[in-house]
Structure 1
Amino acid sequence: MASLQSVLEQYFTVYHTPPFPADAYELVVDGMPLAVAGDLSEREVALLKTLAPQPASRNPWAQFLVGSGSIPANGVVRLVQFNTSAAPTQPALWLDALLSLFSGDVTGFWLTPTHAVVVEPQTATPLDQSGLLSILDTLDPDFDTQTRGYLGQFWAVNATLPAIFAEEQRLAAASDDRCACLANSALAYYTSKARRDSPLLGNLRDAITEDAEMRPVIVSLYEHLGNLTATAKALYIHRNTLQYRLDKFQQTTGFSLRQMDDLVLCYLLVQGA
């Protein structure tokens, strides 16, 4: 089935990156801010309202980040994204609880019913990935939600920030990790088109994914920087069993997962497999 975005692109001029033209009609598709070129008929506007919501938040940061507001403050900030699998039953309470779990002075808003954003000013002790995981572990059981977080980079607040935020949204949407960031999502995201379009890489992917047991091995080995002991422990298998699987994989494919170049290539090939 065609995505809503692709359908819109067939019939309208669609802008993907804010700031959007002043006369454009703004909407949110799959959590991403988009805009359709202006001069729409009443019927077209009614159709767009039915298909996708407009950004609902009146928060100054929300308006700025989707390209329809002025810069709300100066300085350097980070945008921390939270995507829930379903809309919380008490969104205001959920957001208040989320903000209370940050140690510094932060602000937040709902961009869509399932996508919240926290604006974190730069400090000497910013939130790290373990802190983000701790927030999710605290929040989800209390509200019966399933949430993924994305820890953005720190950026100067200027006219380029909405475009950067739009790209960070795409990075977050493309990652399956519960706690994602640029460092652990960029490689797979920025090579996705080449991997998808290349016949050579496609054939390699088919070859290395014939053994379904090897995908979790490759991913875990990559996440543990090639450390066999840590990987075996994470997979709940004996180190000798892991050694055997690596040897068998090398005999079958020619790739030695003990070599970092081979491991990185195989890791990229199994993304989305």
Structure 2
Amino acid sequence: MKHKLLSYFQHTMEQTSPPSPAQLELYYWFTLSAQNEWFGIHKKEVDDSQLDLLKNLFDYFLPEENNQQEELVWSQFLYLQGEMPPQEDQGTIRMIQFHIKGKDLEKGLMSDAFADFICSDSLLIWKNHHEGVIVERNQHYIQEEAFVSFAQAIQTDFFATITFFIGKEVQLSPALPTIFIQEKNIFSKGLSIIPSQSVLSLEKILPALFIHRLASDELELFNHCFSIFKEDKEVLLTIQTFIENNGHSTNTAKQLYIHRNTLQYRLDKFTEKTGFHLKDFSSFFTTYLACLLFNPSNQP
């Protein structure tokens, strides 16, 4: 479809790298992030209705839009390999990428909601109407639980679904755009394989990515060893919650609204049926992979 559309316009450009500032002045740019493809259409050839159609079909790339001067410097640095922002008063940083699903998004209102949520020295940088990044600076980091609550508020107020990717704490350096792209690629995979999660991270995505890449014959052993997860979804939920609470019984029971004796009964039932003891790290990790495989909420 892309090639048919491009053949309609006389002056187009295709490349595998982001557009330069000079190219942004002359062309409307769109990206197919999954294929790492960029294409531009000369502004003189596109009327408003055609531009609206292209925005609906592809990811519209215009990092300057709605960005103030400081945000613009960061946008050019992260997306276009521009000059590095000044290092003073930056401290360590963390990049929080986000992706929004929804129609007729009021970007201005969305930006206002973000402004009330993020820290005062954080920067909100839009890539297009559906994605961008929050640059948290000086170790002023928002906790994961707050991102979950904010995602729920966005869904209620804007009828849109937002997913965050919490990057790692890093120092400002020339290598940062490369780290940003690496985290963006992992985020893209996470959106595909665990779409139910509103907050993602490297730690959440890599195990799920691993289990989804196993061959069918390799998965047969999981199906055999953890057949209890197919038969008893209550046990599946209990075991996954127990592991995600780092084996802390009190927190697990509280989260599931059950008595600790009930929790212990289910843990014993799991061990009896599978032979896996969750006090052993290898069993702990293998069982968690099985939870990701069998839990319907983790399926694409």
Q: Secondary structure of the residue that 1:271 maps to in structure 2?
A: helix
C-alpha separation in 2, matches of 1:114 and 1:229: 40
Whether the 8 Å CA contact 2:96–2:134 is kept in 1: the answer is: yes
Q: Secondary structure of the residue that 1:109 maps to in structure 2?
A: strand
Whether the 8 Å CA contact 1:171–1:189 is kept in 2: the answer is: no
Whether the 8 Å CA contact 2:18–2:38 is kept in 1: the answer is: no
Correspondent of 1:35 among 37, 58, 69 = 37
- 1:91 corresponds in structure 2 to 107
Which has the larger helix fraction? 2
Correspondent of 1:65 among 78, 94, 107 = 78
- 2:45 corresponds in structure 1 to none
Q: How does 1:1-273 map to 2 (within 5 A)?
A: 15=16, 27-29=30-32, 34-35=36-37, 52-58=58-64, 59=67, 60=72, 61-66=74-79, 68-75=80-87, 76-87=92-103, 89-123=105-139, 125-173=140-188, 174=190, 175=194, 176-182=196-202, 184-185=203-204, 187-188=206-207, 191-192=210-211, 196-197=214-215, 199-205=217-223, 207-208=225-226, 209-213=229-233, 214-273=235-294
Unaligned runs of 5+ in 2: 3-13, 41-49, 295-300
TM-score (norm 2): 0.65
Amino acid at match of 1:229: T
Q: CA deviation at 1:140?
A: 4.3
Q: Secondary structure of the residue that 1:210 maps to in structure 2?
A: helix
Deviations 1:196-230 (A, max 9, x none): 23744542245313334133222201111112232
Q: CA deviation at 1:90?
A: 1.1
Amino acid at match of 1:261: S
Larger Rg: 2
Whether the 8 Å CA contact 2:93–2:136 is kept in 1: the answer is: yes
C-alpha separation in 1, matches of 2:83 and 2:147: 27
Whether the 8 Å CA contact 2:125–2:134 is kept in 1: the answer is: yes
Deviations 1:19-71 (A, max 9, x none): 78999x97433x65822599xxxxxxx9xx685334233253334323x3413
Amino acid at match of 1:178: S
C-alpha separation in 1, matches of 2:269 and 2:15: 49
Whether the 8 Å CA contact 1:81–1:149 is kept in 2: the answer is: yes
Q: CA deviation at 1:268?
A: 1.6
C-alpha separation in 2, matches of 1:111 and 1:265: 38
- 1:7 corresponds in structure 2 to none
Amino acid at match of 1:148: T
Moved more, 152-161 or 198-207: 198-207
Moved more, 130-139 or 111-120: 130-139
Deviations 1:71-125 (A, max 9, x none): 35133432112223314631122112202322322221332432232122224x4
Deviations 1:240-270 (A, max 9, x none): 3332322222222211234443122111223
Whether the 8 Å CA contact 1:32–1:169 is kept in 2: the answer is: no
Root-mean-square deviation over aligned CA pairs: 3.7
Q: Structure 1 residues 97, 210: closer, same or farther in 2, change over 3 A?
A: closer
Identity between Structure 1 and Structure 2 (%): 25
Whether the 8 Å CA contact 2:61–2:127 is kept in 1: the answer is: yes
Q: Structure 1 residues 71, 154: closer, same or farther in 2, change over 3 A?
A: farther
Aligned pair count reads 245
C-alpha separation in 2, matches of 1:27 and 1:205: 43
Deviations 1:123-174 (A, max 9, x none): 4x43232343454455544434332222222333444322322222233341
C-alpha separation in 1, matches of 2:251 and 2:86: 44
TM-score (norm 1): 0.71
